[in-house]
Structure 1
Amino acid sequence: MVDVQRASKMADRIQEIVARRLEKGIKDPRIGFVTITDVKVTGDLQHASIFYTVYGTDEERADSAAALKSATGMLRTEVGKNITARLTPSLEFIPDGIPENAASIDRLLQEARQRDADSQSLAETAQYAGDADPYVKPREFGEADEADNEADRP
């Protein structure tokens, strides 16, 4: 049976433990400015997916990913010492796509703003294709209309 609340608490605790350990420092010079953004633990508490971001270039991201992969055993030991579970979950580090997604969304919003500005400028100089008021107005009854109405009567 899956206890979602327990898995959530364990995920929060793992995030805190790993972040604290990374803050203290790992003796790997490849690790850069890493931020743990989220942790997801499976329902059976056997596996933890740790999402992280790295501030820097693509090369620094790749180096940090390699450093985290090599430090997984040490970090798992640290997690095992600091949680109250019978089994220590396996750890998997996954680069988080938040910065790339945010940049993509910003780019799309900028494009939408530009298109809105373009359509607004076109609307300001636009002219009607037909009459300015294309809706039919009720006619005023005149003599010609009264003659048509009398002809229709039996």
Structure 2
Amino acid sequence: MPKKRSTPERINRIADQIQRDLSEMITRGEVKDPRIGFVTLQSVELTPDYAHAKVWFTTLSGDPQVSRTALNHAAGHLRNLLFKRLHIHTVPTLHFIFDETLEKAVELSQLIDQANAVRAKD
């Protein structure tokens, strides 16, 4: 019997549901690690076989690497909580990754402002 392939739409729906559920669990304090701090989950990338999920996050305060370590430490617990919520055969292993996009955008904006300030002086 050939293996059934997941459609991209289904993968995206499940990834979105994982993001919503994880956000809710972290916000409600179902993970009691204070090192996590105040994080926002930006997106979830799910592999086609549902084995792994990259969870991209940002922080509003604190050291992002400390938050990443704490989230990855709590990943097994969060996966068990997801297993109770999701109705899929395989619940993915979670890998938390700090999303540097926002920080890079701020840096770029500051560089543009500096360049414009230098131009205005000339």
TM-score by length of 2: 0.84
Letter matched to residue 21 of structure 1:
M
How far is 1:63 from its partner? 2.6
How far is 1:13 from its partner? 0.2
Aligned counterpart, 2:102: 99
Report the number of matched residues: 117
- Within the alignment, does 1:43 sit opposite 2:51 as a pair? no
TM-score by length of 1: 0.68
Larger RCO (CA under 8 A, 6+ residues apart)? 2
In 2, are the aligned partners of 1:17 and 1:78 still within 8 Å (CA)?
no
How far is 1:29 from its partner? 2.4
Matched ranges for 1:3-152 at <5 A:
3-25=7-29, 26-58=31-63, 61-118=64-121, 121=122
Letter matched to residue 3 of structure 1:
T
1:98-142 CA distances to partner (integer Å, 9 max, x unpaired)? 221121221232134235435xx5xxxxxxxxxxxxxxxxxxxxx
Point out where structure 1 has 5 or more consecutive residues left out of the alignment. 122-154
Secondary structure, counterpart of 1:103 in structure 2: helix
How far is 1:43 from its partner? 2.0
| Structure 2 CA distance for aligned equivalents of residues 57 and 70 of structure 1 | 17
Percent identity at matched positions?
Answer: 34
In 2, are the aligned partners of 1:31 and 1:67 still within 8 Å (CA)?
yes
Deviates more, 1:97-106 or 1:68-77: 97-106
| Structure 1 CA distance for aligned equivalents of residues 66 and 75 of structure 2 | 14
In 2, are the aligned partners of 1:34 and 1:54 still within 8 Å (CA)?
yes
1:3-51 CA distances to partner (integer Å, 9 max, x unpaired)? 1101100110000110000011122122211111111111222211000
Secondary structure, counterpart of 1:19 in structure 2: helix
Which is greater in Rg?
Answer: 1
